[in-house]
Amino acid sequence: MKALICGSIAYDNIMVFQGQFQDQILPDQIHMLNVSFLVPALRREFGGCAANIAYNLGLLGDTGYPMATVGHDFAPYGDWLRERGVPLDHVRELSESFTAVAYIMTDLADNQITAFHPGAMAHAHLNAVPAEAGLSWGMVSPDGRQAMIDHAEQFAAAGVPFIFDPGQGLPMFGAAELKRFIELADVVAVNDYEGKMLMQRTGLDEAQIAAQVRALVVTRAAEGSMILAGGERLEIPAAAPAAVVDPTGCGDAYRAGLLHGLMHGADWATTGRIASLMGAIKVESAGTQNHSFDRESFYTRYEASFGRQLHLGS
């Protein structure tokens, strides 16, 4: 099965602050904020939502096609993805731009501060969703502003169901645009903070959003996730990681699990648990694409995590 994942491909520079951000910020001085965080270690990783989700979907046995624009410095990343079976048919290289780059700092409470240079991603609207490509699902994840608008419309016009995953791109849109995304999408997936922002900007509550889509999915990190579908509210437990190493990319792994469940016709309780386990597996490894598993071990761990066997259609 094939999914088209519209979003970013980026180089990630990942740092860990050996404390908590809140201890370094004076609440009554945020109008003149001047803060420096010492980060003893720096890792450079391959990242970006589209590539991360496609990588994770590949681990589950499906084919995820990232659709993105990259820069002249993409070659090492492209080689990495090809070696791992991620197809690059819909990745466009722009010779006059850099590939997008993120600087991600995490504290010991798993809070994150991110600075992002879009580079070639700003031209992602040059790509278009193919009308006839045998796609079973699509996803609109954080990308260039116009690209997200265009690709949502194109998925709908092509009759391809898709997940709207605004992520860090949500602040770029006003109420009317966000309502249009919800109208076009089949699933809306946000984290708890993004969900509150989405409701604040649109004036819609959870039930009103869920009534327009197949499901509203809200992730809550270690507290699990919530899926509101068909008038039913499902509380999805978090799967326990063997160790908490790096939360960067956990949301992307979770979304790959959502796609996998949807592509194989699983019910929402099962789909949510697949996604939850994907997030737990990711958090055990540094970086966003350094974890791996085989099908048998995933099914075994699913049963151990949730006390039920995993059965999926073809």
**pLDDT per residue as tens, the chain (314 positions):** 899 999 999 998 989 899 999 998 878 878 888 889 999 989 899 999 999 999 999 999 999 999 999 999 999 999 999 999 999 999 999 999 999 998 989 899 888 898 889 999 999 999 999 987 789 999 999 999 999 999 999 999 999 999 999 998 999 999 999 999 999 999 999 999 999 999 999 999 999 999 999 999 999 998 999 999 999 999 999 999 999 998 889 999 999 999 999 999 999 999 999 999 999 999 999 889 999 999 899 999 999 999 999 988 76
CATH code of residue 147: 3.40.1190.20
In a domain, 30, yes or no: no
In a domain, 37, yes or no: no
In a domain, 92, yes or no: yes
pLDDT of residue 291: 96
pTM of the predicted model as reported, rounded to 2 decimal places: 0.91
In a domain, 154, yes or no: yes
In a domain, 310, yes or no: no
Total length of the chain: 314
In a domain, 36, yes or no: no
In a domain, 309, yes or no: no
pLDDT of residue 121: 97
Number of domains in the chain: 1
In a domain, 28, yes or no: no
Q: Parallel, antiparallel, or unpaired for β 215-219 and 187-191?
A: parallel
Tell me the residue ranges of DSSP E strands in the chain: 2-6, 10-16, 42-47, 63-70, 90-93, 100-106, 112-117, 137-140, 162-164, 187-191, 215-219, 225-229, 232-236
* Containing structural domain, residue 276: 2-21+42-304
